[in-house]
Amino acid sequence: MLRKRSPLIICGAFVFVAWNVILFFVLMRRPSTQGALDSPDELGNKGDRAGGDQFGNIMNEVMRVANAFEAEIESQKKILLQIQSHWSVWENKGGVTAAKSKSQAEHSVPVVIPILVIACNRVTVKRCLDKLIEHRPSAELYPIIVSQDCGHAETSDVIASYGSQLTHIKQPDLSDISVPPQYKKFQGYYKISRHYRWAFNQVFNTFSYSSVVVVEDDLEVAPDFFEYFRALHPILKSDPTLWCVSAWNDNGREGFVDPGKASLLYRTDFFPGLGWMFTKDLWAEIEPKWPASFWDDWMRQPSQRRDRSCIRPEISRTLTFGRKGVSLGQFYDKYLRFIKLNTEFVPFTKMDLSYLEKKKYDESFEKEVYSASVVTVEDLQSGKLTGSGPFRVQYSSPDSFKTLARNLGVMDDLKSGVPRAGYRGVVHFLFRGKRVYLAPPAGWSQYNPSWS
């Protein structure tokens, strides 16, 4: 269809030019009305008065012809603009070799990805902000918004000291929240949930951004933090089987990740948080039912996740340094403080990440996991296994999973049946230099929410 339209457009342009050439010669050679009635002899026999009248008539006719010519040129100009417009539409649809693809057009104007920093009463937010600004490649493409709760003056002063390098907003409702007596000790979690809801509404509804990367005030970011999210933004926007991109690997401790494979990315069914990106469309979906407290575990429930996954890295692009908080250091001393932060800049935007597409990823994932040799924890601990793997350790119940996870040194908790960093029930990591899959039996079909 496009090729058939090309000759028509070219023909239209040719007719336009030819018509104007003919029109020009016709108008310039067109005799005046008076000249057609009078012969040269008759003109010569008329007196000076008649000559003056004739000159005036000639001038009037010249002006009339000139005006007509100008009007015709203006009319033809409009036709030319219409031809040009049709040509541009046809070209954009791929009718010429130089036409850009849709994806190229979308990337011609880089999308702005704001960084939302959730802050409260920790002056150590400075460490977080310093690293964000140090590694930020563009203030225009990555505006930093710090949303502060708690009304803590010292923390507010630290944030304000950055001036125009960021935008400082403050959650206005600092009142206590009425909670059941048995949940009084969890008051902080209620306030956090209230703050997140307010901050997300500011980003999407007040500032009108289409996506956001959320960072807590106790996170330090890696050198390629912005590159990572920039590369994965179009994938998140286009793939309905994804609902977030996270910079965090729950099992990303030193010795459990491959330092030579900083570019590896995975799908995970577990919502990791701790430096994560999501879209305005998702917020429109979950905001009406946003929970009063424990928002992160709420996000991990089947009714929110809806069988969607997140992207997470082999090596974390964030590191938490905040032991003190409402969670009272839960998991921090045992796991979180040992998380390895990536130090190698990976040019993700120049890489082919199509392997993350669900169908392609699932086929490769299933084949690799279930073709791996089945071994026991004792086999791994003995050091007698040869090669770097992969090896598979199989679990069949929540209890067996937790026992095996503890013995192998990875996080053993389940949320709505999903293990941390798990995908299709499988958790993978390095154990003494060998790739290990802690996996359910072949034929896995769905999570059991009662496993917790």
CA 93 to chain centre: 25
Residue from 38, 239, 258, 296 carrying the catalytic annotation:
296
CA angle 262, 267, 270 (to 5 degrees): 110
Q: Do 298 and 304 form a contact (C-beta atoms < 8 A)?
A: yes
Which pair of structure tokens corresponds to residue 310?
């997140």
Non-local CB neighbours of 192 within 8 Å, separated by 6+ positions: 149, 293, 295, 326
Our answer to whether residue 296 is catalytic in this structure is: yes
Q: Which of 189, 193, 145 is nearest to 169 (CA)?
A: 145
CA distances from 245 to 64, 201, 278 (A): 70, 20, 7
Three-state DSSP state, 1: coil
Distances (CA, A) of 361 to 276, 424, 428: 21, 12, 15
Closest CA to 301 of 443, 441, 449: 449
Q: How far apart are CA 168 and CA 407, in angstroms?
A: 45
Cβ proximity of 204 and 283 under 8 Å? yes
Spatial separation of the C-alpha atoms in residues 311 and 265, rounded to whole Å: 7
Alpha carbons 35 and 155: distance in angstroms, whole number: 93
SS3 letters across 401-413: HHHHHHHHCCCCC
Kindly report the number of other CB atoms within 10 A of residue 224's CB atom.
24
> For residue 172, is the peptide bond before it cis, meaning its omega torsion is within 30 degrees of 0?
no
Q: Which of 229, 211, 223 is nearest to 282 (CA)?
A: 211
Which residues are part of the catalytic machinery?
296
